[in-house]
Amino acid sequence: MAQHHRIKFSFGYTAGILTGILLTALVLLAHRFSKDETPPAGRICIIIDDFGNALDETTLGFFTLETPITAAVLPGKPYSRQIGQIADSLGYEVMVHMPMEPYDAAEEDSSGYLLTDRLNAAEVDSRVAAAFTELPMAAGMNNHQGSKATTSLQLMKDLARILEKRRKYFIDSFTNPESRAFLTMHRFGVKTEVRQLFLDNQPDREHITAQLDSLALLSRDRGTVIGIGHATKAATLEVLREELPGLQSAGYQFLRASEVVK
């Protein structure tokens, strides 16, 4: 009789422990779900173009933002390598901002990096290789200008083959609605995406703020969006510094370019 009582007590004690463990696991699971699985209001990638020409207060100010941005650095400029190193050391993603031929070139490009439809595959490879040699930390590429170059199917095929071998992504800055870049990259297995909005094609704060708001609203419908600003524009830095913390608090998630390509 006494032995039966001890068995019953032992079973009840063990069952209580197991119940406690189960309840704790359920609470932790619920907490993880509420924390990690709640979808963001929208996913936003901000790329800042045209780094490389200056190393001034505005340029360096972008690397004080606590929100992830991706720095698109022009190769062959006075501060290209230095800015790439600074950005990388501070945890910001870097991409090559590759010069590509526009229809309305104001002057001849003498950098030795410009991609045009007059180059053969070996020449394209040489210029891309030089850009990544100068910026070895770069995770991918987007186009600087390129309204003409991105419409050339052969040039985009050559570039796609090169980037696929290097395992680099490509963001189509979409400077021409006839661009062949995105579809060609996708076809050749290069992770890619397309820019939705330019933030500062007009340099005043009101316009930049309105564009950033539009980008956030667009992300609610599309899920993930890309906006491009420019390192030469102090107003862009000021607006981002003021507005990004509020957007994060409102549930928007900011991602690097490598996190939005597919």
* Statement to judge: residues 46 and 30 lie in one domain: no
* Statement to judge: residues 53 and 95 lie in one domain: yes
* pLDDT surpasses 90 at 5: no
* Statement to judge: residues 12 and 48 lie in one domain: no
* Statement to judge: residues 11 and 115 lie in one domain: no
The closest of 147, 149, 104 to 123, measured between CA atoms, is: 149
* Statement to judge: residues 62 and 110 lie in one domain: yes
What CATH number is associated with residue 83? 3.20.20.370
pLDDT confidence tier of residue 110, bands split at 50, 70 and 90: confident
* Statement to judge: residues 119 and 71 lie in one domain: yes
* pLDDT surpasses 90 at 163: yes
Q: Report the distance separating Cα 241 and Cα 205, nearest Å.
A: 12
Q: What is the pLDDT of residues 78-88, one digit of tens each?
A: 999 999 999 99
3-state SS, one letter per residue, for 46-74: EEEEEECCCCCHHHHHHHHCCCCCEEEEC
* pLDDT surpasses 90 at 25: no
Q: Report the distance separating Cα 139 and Cα 194, nearest Å.
A: 16
Are 57 and 231 in contact by the 8 Å Cβ rule? The answer is: no
pLDDT confidence tier of residue 107, bands split at 50, 70 and 90: low
Q: Of all residues in the chain, what percent carry a pLDDT higher than 90?
A: 82
Q: How many residues does the chain have?
A: 262
* Statement to judge: residues 32 and 111 lie in one domain: no
The number of folded domains in the chain is: 2
Q: Which two tokens stand for residue 34?
A: 């509420």
Residue 13 has a pLDDT of 43
pTM assigned to the model: 0.85
Give the range of the structural domain holding residue 100, as residue numbers without chain letter: 42-259
* Statement to judge: residues 19 and 130 lie in one domain: no
Residue 39 has a pLDDT of 85
Rg (CA), the chain: 25
